Structures are given as structure tokens and as C-alpha cells.
Amino acid sequence: MEVGFLGLGIMGKAMSMNLLMNGFKVTVWNRTLSKCNELVAHGASIGKTPAEVINKCKITIAMLSDPAAALSVVLDKDGVLEQICGDKGYIDMSTVDPETSCRINEAITSKGGRFLEAPVSGSKQPAETGQLVILAAGDKALYEAAIPAFDILGKKSFFLGQVGNGAKMKLVVNMIMGSMMNAFSEGLTLADRSGLNPRDLLDVLDLGAIANPMFKGKGPTMLQNNYSPAFPLKHQQKDMRLALALGDENSVPMPVAAASNEAFKKARSMGLGDMDFSAVFETLKVLKHSS
């Protein structure tokens, strides 16, 4: 099976490499073309533009940083729209707001193409090991055609119906995750300042009802001040902002998420945007130093 892949950031690089290692023919594009070199060394081909990738491949996947990038790749000169047509499918796995996803869907289908949104739950390590959770919505036939690729990229795929539902599900999931990370950071800080060993807290949490892989995986690295990015903080804050907008649209009060978003914004103002989202922990250390 041959697929195109647009966007080789932390997630896109890992996902396209997985496809290559499992026998797929992959044509890749990235705005900075030098990022394609490692994949080419493993057998990938390069498309010089998104349009060139679309022209070559029946199914093309995109994994881009934000709504602006997702729209740009589709709508700009040499973009997806220049070559999309009736026998081609476009799968956007970026995390965007429902409105952006619907706009891309309208643009693709107006040219006769098929569109599927398929954002993922999971960060760098699940992407590398093919353990993502795929949240798809849109063209059901394209979803079924993409199952062989999804089975390599993820441990479970959901088809959620009409375009927009995948984006909504991803924003809800990431809103919960961001809120949990802030509560976790506050708990580690409270344990430390009240004379407890934060590592003991990690052990206690891991044995209780709120044990989860995020606490288990992130806790030790946070205590070591290690914020190597699996999921950059700037993207987590973007997702919190989009989730809050979704809450506004649906008249859902979200005070916990709003407070968490402010913490992520504070972390970005401290220059932590490119670090892992767990670096929000550092905002509490600033408060200690100022007290």
C-alpha cells in the first residue's frame, strides 16, 4: 500500500517511520525538506510540495501543528487542493477545532475528493510504538480503506460519524489531560512543601484508584526537571484554548480547564512552549521563589 504523509514533526516523523518499517511505500513532505532525509534513508520518497504528494498517492495523511498549518497545506499555492480529485482521499490527523476540520472537508469534497479527520490520542512514545488511539470521522469508505495503515499506527480506531466529531473528541480528551497535569503538578508541589517525599506520592498514586500511565510516566521525569518534548506545551495550550471555545459554543462552564489554560499560558510566557507539556510544573517553582 502506498500513502503520502505531510508533516514530519515529533508525531509525523514517528508515524511515517512506522508505516515504512511495516512495508508501506511512503512519499513524504515537510515544509523544511531536510527533515525528510532520515525517512528517505529508510526508503521513503520525497514530494517537493503537498500537491505533488497528492498527485502521486491515492491516500495522503497529514499531521500538522495547528489549524493555521492544516489550512495552509490544503489551500495555499501547491497545496492539496491543486491535485485532489475523485479517486483520492485526504486524512488529516492534526488536532484542530471542528470548524477548521469542516472547512477542510468542504474544500476537499468540492473538488470531488474524499476526506477523513482522524486526530489521535497519544504522544511521541505511542506514535513510535504504534499504540495511538485514532478518532476518525467523515468518509466511511475512506476510513475502511485506511484501516491497514491505522492498524499499524494505533492500537484502536474509532469511527465517530460526521466530520467535526473526531476534532471534538480529541479536544475533550486533551482538555481532561491538561487539567489532570495541572492537578498533578500542584499535588507534587504540595507534597514537597509540606515535608513529604514526592517520590512516595508517586508510589501511593500508582497503587490507588487514580493510577494512570501519565502520572507513572511523567512523574519521575518531572522530579528530575526533564521536559524532553513528547507533546510540546505550546500544543497543549492550543488544545486547551480550542476546548474552551468548544465549551463556549455549547454553554458548558469549564472553570477547571480555564484555570489550567492560564497555567499553560504562564509557562509559555516563561519560554517553556517547546518543552514537554509537563513543564507546566515549573510555574509552581516560580511561585515558590517569589514567596
Q: Known catalytic residues?
A: 170
127 with 150: CB under 8 angstroms? no
- Residues 223 and 189 sit within 8 Å (Cβ to Cβ): no
CA distances from 70 to 83, 219, 266 (A): 16, 32, 26
Q: Which three cell numbers stand for residue 147?
A: 484501516
Q: Which three cell numbers stand for residue 76?
A: 495555499
Q: Which residues contact 228 (CB under 8 A, 6 or more apart)?
A: 221, 275, 276
At what angle are helices 10-21 and 140-153 packed, to 10 degrees? Answer: 90
Question: Which stretches of 165-250 are DSSP H helices?
Answer: 165-193, 198-206, 213-223, 233-249
Number of neighbouring beta carbons within 10 Å of residue 73: 27
Closest CA to 239 of 71, 127, 120, 132: 120
Cell of 261: 489554560
Pairing of the two strands 114-117 and 132-138:
antiparallel
Q: Smallest Cα–Cα separation from 114: which of 81, 89, 133?
A: 89
